[in-house]
Structure 1
């Protein structure tokens, strides 16, 4: 597993649990045969070289989003920090919703975040579906021990007989079948001759338990569906709550870390592993489940169903749309893996669900990009600036060479060069015919400095027949070149960025903002579409300085005054540049 050089991590309750386990040697005598397997398989292996084992277990039914990043960083990070190993395991027990496309995308996203699953010469990439044979064997062992039965009630009958938080459940009329009868019926389920929904296999625990999860939970259901990994081998599939503890045990997981909604499932998790260990199928000590609070981000939705609706309804341009909270969308937007890891690590782990302001994530991004992103000038809303006395000062056709550091704190990145001539592009809002109070840029009679260039004095503007400003007019103030002795001879209060028309590089600039206007777009069951931000994407034609001609895709820059931008990894071409705004230079949302 890679070890990103991030800052030291704050302590939290999960780290406390792991440190106590290491101190007491809870897992020190555990054996690992090098591959997943049952108790006998691991008993024949050496002591586990990993001090702990965690896992990130996504279901391959969609693309990973920023909420998953928290679990990825937590599981891989804890394993890294405590001499352990984190497995990537696909919980692919639902064939109707899972696809190889999602498997491939998840692998790519976890790698992009900076993690892998190679350790001690072993590739710890696993699939729950590869354990289906053992899961059937375990189910039949439970049946033989009188701990599971085939229930042939209808779904509505089972639901009604389950009871609720105030009413105990009612035993199924099939609950008292003999183990032999149940085994025969379970094999009938596997044979393919029973239709979907005709029967389920249930654990036999306690229909009066105050924990509804222990009221004879379902273990297997019939589902005639082709699986992305096992094809048509199976027509019965394990329930997630049955499969997940077994997967952990087969992989020798020590700390099974999940979100708080699984807290009520923990007694079932422990019951199942304890019974299978009693039956000699799994080794002890069994994995232990620990729950942490989910991380929610404001101005974001992470429901796969709702994200799919955004894509299917054409509200966004696919799963990797730069406004999407998917990791592919964030990567295309220009987010760095380091910034996402910093956000995840900075929030630690707690026993309560938390809401994080989106501005915190943007702050992590700015902190990372500030020291990395080369600088450049860009004009996003172009307006011509004509320097009317240029030929008198410099001579016709002269281009004044200007230079600036690629990064003010990183001299090793070198210098960038561009030319100052008589015709420039400036930002439209850098001119005001009648300036507001406190406006120090171009207006008739005012002087400003062209950054890295000369001081100019505005003399007026040109307009079209409708009264729209079509060009700004100014004169050069001689001997005011930046970096020369005369640079300070004329005092100005404003400095503006610019691009010379003679060497400007035309560029498509996609100005992205938050997809929603409300911090919790779907709060209270509200239709999230009502909170869509109509200004979340604006595409303009602008110009960038010549140093950015021919740059490849996925390169990040700070456009001076404007913010951080990235060449779009999908649309950008060196001869037709497309830049996405990653974030502004400071948080200006709602201002």
Structure 2
């Protein structure tokens, strides 16, 4: 897959790079990258040759591969549901992991999977066949699968990951671009956490005066801190004020849960 190739090689990367050779598992010979075809800065295709000469050097690593007649399927990879170890009560929606489910619609697996995958026998009420994808983890056949190699060879194959592998979790040394992307994500999470802590310390009465989302939008408030007029003096409709009451109540609940989690 794409993670097995880099345009710039280094000593800690064991995948394929321009003019570099790697072994091919279960096949023999060294795969050598001769040419990289790009489109708008993205790698689209690699042109390679297979060195099967007796004098070829022993490769430092071997790549997994699938043949051109591999089976197309939908693969669902599941990750932690939340971005934090301990969920903070009513604020749980902000801590959901947007990548808790990643779906690969056009994954390709080895054609030998046809001997295991049978859509006529899968069921949501029993354990379905499972197997390992090298370097990726263990997967189970989903009950939405309709494929059968004889009666329905064009049917759908759906596979769900149930166990990760250590190799997939603790990946090889990251490239500089990958490190920068990871740092950006960590910085975003840190900024979000700091903003949440600051928001949780705002008294509900002052919520619409002090929180960034509402600051400067209103000019007058009732005795409970609910805005009654916009910044330009326009009086708010009762329906708009009711929505703000609910927003304040939500803040109160989240604040209570946050305070409880800190004890």
Residue 16 of structure 2 is aligned to residue 449 of structure 1: no
Contact 1:458 1:474 in 2 (8 A): yes
Root mean square deviation, CA, Å: 2.4
Contact 1:513 1:536 in 2 (8 A): yes
Which digits, 9 at most, give the CA deviation of each residue in 1:3-53, with x for residues without a partner?
Answer: xxxxxxxxxxxxxxxxxxxxxxxxxxxxxxxxxxxxxxxxxxxxxxxxxxx
Residue 137 of structure 2 is aligned to residue 573 of structure 1: no
Residue 10 of structure 2 is aligned to residue 430 of structure 1: no
Distance 1:434 1:489 in 2: 23
Which residue of 99, 102, 106 corresponds with 1:538? 102
Gap change, CA 1:471 and 1:513, over 3 Å in 2:
same
Number of the residue aligned with 2:34: 459
Number of the residue aligned with 2:92: 528
Compute the displacement of 1:437 (Å).
3.9
Distance 2:97 2:26 in 1: 37
SS of aligned partner of 1:529: helix
Residue 77 of structure 2 is aligned to residue 506 of structure 1: no
Gap change, CA 1:452 and 1:564, over 3 Å in 2:
same
Which digits, 9 at most, give the CA deviation of each residue in 1:244-284, with x for residues without a partner?
Answer: xxxxxxxxxxxxxxxxxxxxxxxxxxxxxxxxxxxxxxxxx
Distance 2:80 2:71 in 1: 28
Number of the residue aligned with 2:232: none
Residue 52 of structure 2 is aligned to residue 478 of structure 1: yes
Distance 1:500 1:535 in 2: 29
Note the residue ranges of structure 2 that are not aligned, 5 or more in a row.
123-127, 148-154, 172-181, 183-263
Contact 1:433 1:460 in 2 (8 A): no
Compute the displacement of 1:496 (Å).
0.7
TM-score by length of 2: 0.53
SS of aligned partner of 1:469: strand
SS of aligned partner of 2:83: coil
Contact 1:512 1:537 in 2 (8 A): yes
Which digits, 9 at most, give the CA deviation of each residue in 1:193-213, with x for residues without a partner?
Answer: xxxxxxxxxxxxxxxxxxxxx
Number of the residue aligned with 1:547: 112
Gap change, CA 1:538 and 1:515, over 3 Å in 2:
same
Number of the residue aligned with 2:132: 558
Gap change, CA 1:495 and 1:431, over 3 Å in 2:
same
Contact 1:507 1:542 in 2 (8 A): yes
Distance 2:132 2:73 in 1: 15
Distance 1:539 1:526 in 2: 28
Contact 1:450 1:498 in 2 (8 A): yes
Alignment of 1:169-208 (within 5 A): none
Residue 164 of structure 2 is aligned to residue 584 of structure 1: yes
Distance 2:50 2:169 in 1: 34
SS of aligned partner of 2:169: coil
Alignment of 1:222-301 (within 5 A): none
Alignment of 1:93-112 (within 5 A): none
Which digits, 9 at most, give the CA deviation of each residue in 1:358-381, with x for residues without a partner?
Answer: xxxxxxxxxxxxxxxxxxxxxxxx
Q: Quick check: which has more Rg, 1 or 2?
A: 1
TM-score by length of 1: 0.25
SS of aligned partner of 1:499: coil
Gap change, CA 1:517 and 1:433, over 3 Å in 2:
same
Distance 2:163 2:7 in 1: 30
Distance 1:531 1:589 in 2: 23
SS of aligned partner of 1:549: helix
Number of the residue aligned with 1:492: 59
Contact 1:511 1:580 in 2 (8 A): yes
Contact 1:461 1:472 in 2 (8 A): yes
Distance 1:506 1:498 in 2: 14
Which digits, 9 at most, give the CA deviation of each residue in 1:337-387, with x for residues without a partner?
Answer: xxxxxxxxxxxxxxxxxxxxxxxxxxxxxxxxxxxxxxxxxxxxxxxxxxx
Contact 1:443 1:460 in 2 (8 A): no
Which residue of 510, 518, 531 corresponds with 2:84? 518
Distance 1:533 1:428 in 2: 24
Distance 2:66 2:93 in 1: 40
Note the residue ranges of structure 1 that are not aligned, 5 or more in a row.
1-426, 480-485
SS of aligned partner of 2:87: coil
